[in-house]
Chains A and B, each alone.
Chain A
Amino acid sequence: MLPFRRLIPVLALAALACGCADEPDLVVYCALDQVDSERILKDFEAATGLKVRAEFDAEAHKTVGLVRRIREEQARPRCDVFWNNEFAHTVSLADDGLLASYDAPNAASIPETFRDPERRWTGFAARARVFIVNTEKADPAAVHGMWDLLDPKWKGQVCMARPLTGTTLTHAAALYVALGDDKANEYFQRVKAASDAGELQLMPGNGQVMRQVKDGALAWGWTDTDDYNRALQGGAPVAMVFPDRGEGELGTLFIPNTVAILKDAPHPEAARKLVDYLLSLEVERKLASFDGAQIPLHAELKDEPHQLPIADMRPMVVDYAAVGAQIDARFEALKELFLD
């Protein structure tokens, strides 16, 4: 038997030795739902023979875990490609000089609105911010736009996620850019007052909004198209309403996935290959066909059939770079209002 003194370092070294990683060909930090993005990344591995190490964000941490890691690791970047499921934090990383420029040839037919002018990030495969309506609780035709959430006739029947996380925070920041500070402030103060009065329910996230509506606990609420489609695929009695479609109204916010290569990425060549792959028509088609029903942004795919009636949508015109640049400041202000 080994003496006790020697046993400790032997055990410790054995435990740690089995904990050293092999060097991958590419490291991806991915905030898109693991269940969908894993399939795409496996296809990429099969197509290129490259070994990818993918790291995902836990839903509870809503992108923050990965973004925080990228910032913390900037002295020695470990990530090559950041595949974000929204744009605001990607823009924020670009503004802080943490992303490299890459003008991907496959992005040529993606509208300029969804591309950084300096090519540090590119948007693709979007979700949209929509109302999910329980058809047993409300007539979808009676739901029109964002101000309806505050209409007394829906008192106690509507919900949205607290605008402090995920796409709801991004959406809130977009509303500040689109409506201006005064109008947006008024809107969110009224949302808070309605919540305090029990007239509107503020949920921890969009997933809970979807669950409350699909289960009939509430009539309708604001969520993302992927959540709506999952409820629909699960057989729930739900319909979708694209908000504010009228002339002169704000329209529906698109929240594209964004892909970016990290500055000083350890594997830049492989990173470019993955970005090219993710921005291909093939990947947008696949993401559109999954339960998440992402909306393709390539002009060539505009007229292809889609799971969702996206032709009915009126897209919100918004400066994505401006939204991203404000995200921290907006979060801080909204936290003061909603976290009390």
Chain B
Amino acid sequence: MSRPLLLAAALVFVLLGLAPIGAMALRVEPGDFAGLLGARTLGLLGRTLLLGAGSCGLAVLLGAPFGFLVARTDVPGAALLRPLGLVPLVLPPLFLAITWTVLSDLRGAPMAIVLMSLGTFPIVAFFTALAAERVDARREEAALLAGGWRAALRVELPLLLPAVLCGACLAFVFAINDFAVPDYVSSVGPKFNVYADEVFANWKLDQHTGRAVVTSLPLVLLTLVVLLPALALRRRGTLATLEGDFLRPAPLRLGRLRWAALAYCLLLVGAAALVPLGRLVYDCGGGAQGWSGARAHAAFARALELSRGDLANSLLCASAAGLVAVPVALVLGHAAERLRLGRWLELVYVLPIAVPAILFGIGEIALWNHDATARLYDGNGLVILLFVGRFLPFPLLLLSGAVATLGPRLEEAAQLAGAGPARRLARIVAPALLPSLLGAWALVFVLSMRELDAAILVPAANHTVIFRVFNQIHFGRDDFVAALALLVVFFLLLPGLAWSLYGKRRVEVLP
């Protein structure tokens, strides 16, 4: 590995990903820990655990079968269902809440758990899918011959389980850090306050930033406690089966059950993606007041007229964040995989996603609001830096996983032929990982387009399209909001759609 390149990438990560956290940690004083875990906050933590456990449990029940069906069986339309299953990950969870609270009377904790699991089951599904299609065909055939389905299951379950659990851990992390959905679905009926509420509430107190930082600690620790096994399981799950002379397995024939499987997949994708999107289409055309194409057209025209600039800003910042993040992630991800003790680096890599978004946003102000960086602070530059710092862990983990799937032999051969470390990375590793690089860019792009909680504190992020969507939801201008939300969803899905139409290789979003 080229030391200057590695140092440069590490510097970017430290500056953008860790320094905002460090800036906030410096504000903590010993007195800020007083009363951190009282009976009330412990109750909130308990409910957070319930939300996390319930959501990830249900996400496993929903996602693992879905992932296996679309990856390994002859369920009709698997090629379409598999990317459709990713759509709920792209949708902001509040869109799901707004739709399903209209269509269902379920409220409080059960509704929060159902909605968070609908939003996160794709993570479980796609980890499962990747692990399932990496079961060696010979191993599966031998098991089938020896003992039929039961034997095959006994052989495959241990291979799938780490991947499923890894997805479950990530679903848990997403669920415990969300408070908008629990808050929204307990508007009516029993309240379901969670610890993330307490974290956000303490930032409102004007004088006690140290205490607000300390309040975040239980959630940060809980996130790390669950993320770390996820990292280990990821290696044992999706990556474990790739060793040796791999032979891809044939699709399993479901017989008549394929139609039941199709119904299950459609039901799941429908509930998590098609119904919320359908609801937006319905609302943008007038909704309950009578749907018409003319109204939908007018709503889109108004959304574009008012939000063109915001949309352009979002696209620019999200695209640029992806462009900056991917090369840095490639260098660091490669180092994590190839260097001795490099895997321990992953423990540091996940820190930016373990801290609450609002803490990260305030850290950016502390770090960048100086005369020397004034123009950057006031412009889109800081938005890009924020997006890169906050979301760098995702491409980083993705690309370190992708490097793990790439044997070191080619790199060793290139080294023997005289190619330097940077050249090997550029000419050998990067081209081989092109689908993963595109997936990494798309991941940063999507997360950046959706980002609101940290961005609210960054000046130019006030002029992004997601900011305008959430500002308008309050006023009940349903047609305009729906049209704007659909535009956002369209642009979120655009990279994937474009690659599906024109790309020759599959984008690897999850290695």
Contacts and interface: CB of A to CB of B under 8 A. Distances in A.
Interface centre among B43, B187, B362, B468 (most CB of A within 10 A): B187
A20 B476 contact: no
B430 A210 contact: no
Contact of B369 (A35, A59, A76): A76
Contacts of A262: none
A203 B470 contact: no
A106 B328 CA distance: 55
B454 to A, nearest CB: 10
Contacts of B324: 11-12, 15-16
A335 interface: yes
Nearest to B182: A204
A160 to B, nearest CB: 12
Contact of A331 (B191, B204, B327): B204
B203 A212 contact: no
Contact of B193 (A16, A68, A71, A340): A340
B189 interface: yes
A8 B5 CA distance: 9
Contacts of B366: 72
A160 B360 CA distance: 32
Interface string A1-22: 0011101110110011011111
A310 interface: no
Contacts of A61: 456
Interface stretch (A147-155, A194-202, A313-321): A194-202
Contact of A65 (B323, B382, B456): B456
Contacts of B470: 58-60
Given A8-B327, A11-B327, A68-B362, A19 B376 contact: yes
Contacts of A33: 471, 474-475
Contact of B183 (A5, A21, A204, A235): A204
A292 B201 CA distance: 27
Nearest to B366: A72
A7 B380 CA distance: 21
A300 interface: no
Given A65-B457, A204-B183, A59 B474 contact: yes
B426 A3 contact: yes
Interface in A169-216: 195, 198, 201-205, 207-208, 210-212, 214
B459 A78 contact: yes
Contacts of A65: 456-457
A332 interface: yes
A73 interface: yes
Contact of B188 (A4, A20, A217): A217
Interface residues of A, number: 69
Given A4-B423, A69-B457, A21 B193 contact: no
Chain B contact residues: helix, strand, loop or mixed: helix
A75 B369 contact: yes
A205 B383 CA distance: 28
Contact of B365 (A8, A73, A231, A339): A73
Interface string A95-131: 0100000000000000000000000000000000000
Given A18-B320, A73-B365, A7 B184 contact: no
Contacts of A198: 189-190
A331 B379 contact: no
B206 A212 contact: no
B483 to A, nearest CB: 15
Nearest to A211: B476
A253 B15 CA distance: 48
Interface in A285-299: none
Contacts of B104: none
Interface in B468-494: 468, 470-476
Contacts of A203: 187-188
Q: What are the 8 tightest A-B residue pairs by CB atom distance, in nearest-first order?
A: A21-B379, A19-B381, A4-B426, A19-B380, A15-B320, A21-B378, A59-B474, A207-B474
25 contacts: A3-B423, A3-B426, A7-B426, A18-B380, A19-B379, A20-B375, A20-B381, A35-B471, A35-B475, A55-B463, A58-B467, A60-B452, A64-B203, A64-B204, A72-B457, A164-B201, A198-B190, A201-B187, A207-B473, A210-B476, A235-B289, A331-B205, A340-B40, A340-B43, A340-B44
